[in-house]
Structure 1
Amino acid sequence: MKYSILDKSHDPMGAAISDFHRSGKAARLRVLSSMFEEDEMPVEHLFRPLAKMPRLEQKALEMACGRVLDIGAGAGCHALALQERGIEVKAIDISPLSCEVMSERGIKDVECVNLFDPQLQGKYDTLLLLMNGTGIAGKLERLPSLLNRLKELLADGGQILVDSSDLKYIYENEDGSMDIDLNAPYYGEVDYQMQYKNVKGEPFDWLYTDPALLASISKQCGLQCEIVAEGEHYDYLARLSLCTTVPLA
Structure 2
Amino acid sequence: MSVHAPVLDLTSGGDPFGTAVLEAWKAGPRLGLFHEIIERDDGLITVNDIHRYFAPFEEWGPLEQQLCERAAQRVLDVGCGPGRHATHLLAQGHEVLGIEPSPGAATVARERGVDVLTASVESLEPALGTFDTILLGGQNLGLLGSREKAGGVLRRLASLTKPGGALLGVSIDPYTLTSDCNRAYRDKNRALGRLPGQQRLRIRDGAVSTSWFDYLFVSATELEELLSGTPWQLHELVPHGKQYLAHLVRS
| TM-score (structure 1 length as normaliser) | 0.85
Contact 2:199 2:216 in 1 (8 A): yes
Taking the aligned partners of 2:152 and 2:13, their CA distance within structure 1 comes to: 29
Q: CA deviation at 1:219?
A: 3.0
Look up the match of 2:25: 21
Taking the aligned partners of 1:30 and 1:242, their CA distance within structure 2 comes to: 35
Matches within 5 A, 1:26-45: 26-35=33-42, 37-45=44-52
Q: CA deviation at 1:172?
A: 7.7
Look up the match of 1:115: 121
Taking the aligned partners of 1:92 and 1:53, their CA distance within structure 2 comes to: 21
Taking the aligned partners of 2:87 and 2:110, their CA distance within structure 1 comes to: 10
Amino acid at match of 1:92: I
Taking the aligned partners of 2:220 and 2:84, their CA distance within structure 1 comes to: 25
Task: Kindly indicate whether residue 200 of structure 2 is the aligned counterpart of residue 200 of structure 1.
Answer: no
Amino acid at match of 1:74: G
Look up the match of 2:247: 239
1:210 to 208, 212, 219: 219
Taking the aligned partners of 2:43 and 2:196, their CA distance within structure 1 comes to: 13
1:126 to 133, 143, 147: 133
Q: CA deviation at 1:117?
A: 2.0
Q: Show structure 2 runs of 5+ residues with no match.
A: 1-11
Contact 1:27 1:196 in 2 (8 A): no
Amino acid at match of 2:16: P
Q: CA deviation at 1:56?
A: 0.5
Q: CA deviation at 1:41?
A: 1.4
Give deviations 1:168-191, integer Å, cap 9, x for gaps.
Answer: 123589xxxx88645442211111
Amino acid at match of 2:208: V
Contact 1:35 1:190 in 2 (8 A): no
Look up the match of 1:54: 61
Task: Kindly indicate whether residue 249 of structure 2 is the aligned counterpart of residue 220 of structure 1.
Answer: no
Look up the match of 2:175: 168
Task: Kindly indicate whether residue 186 of structure 2 is the aligned counterpart of residue 191 of structure 1.
Answer: no
Taking the aligned partners of 1:20 and 1:172, their CA distance within structure 2 comes to: 32
CA RMSD of aligned residues (A): 2.2
Q: What percent identity do the matched residue pairs reach?
A: 27
Q: CA deviation at 1:236?
A: 0.7
- Is the alpha carbon distance of 1:56 and 1:36 closer, same or farther for their aligned partners in structure 2, counting shifts above 3 Å? farther
Amino acid at match of 2:117: E
Give deviations 1:63-103, integer Å, cap 9, x for gaps.
Answer: 00110000000010100010011111111101111111111
Q: Show structure 1 runs of 5+ residues with no match.
A: 1-7, 244-249
Aligned partner of residue 244 in structure 2, secondary structure = strand
Aligned partner of residue 106 in structure 1, secondary structure = coil
Residue range with higher mean Cα deviation, 28-37 or 199-208: 28-37
Contact 1:227 1:236 in 2 (8 A): no
**Structure whose residues are more often strand by fraction:** 2
Residue range with higher mean Cα deviation, 147-156 or 109-118: 109-118
Taking the aligned partners of 2:143 and 2:215, their CA distance within structure 1 comes to: 6
1:89 to 92, 96, 99: 96
Taking the aligned partners of 1:28 and 1:161, their CA distance within structure 2 comes to: 26
Aligned partner of residue 220 in structure 1, secondary structure = coil
Look up the match of 2:106: 99
Taking the aligned partners of 1:172 and 1:196, their CA distance within structure 2 comes to: 26
Aligned partner of residue 10 in structure 1, secondary structure = coil
Q: CA deviation at 1:49?
A: 1.1
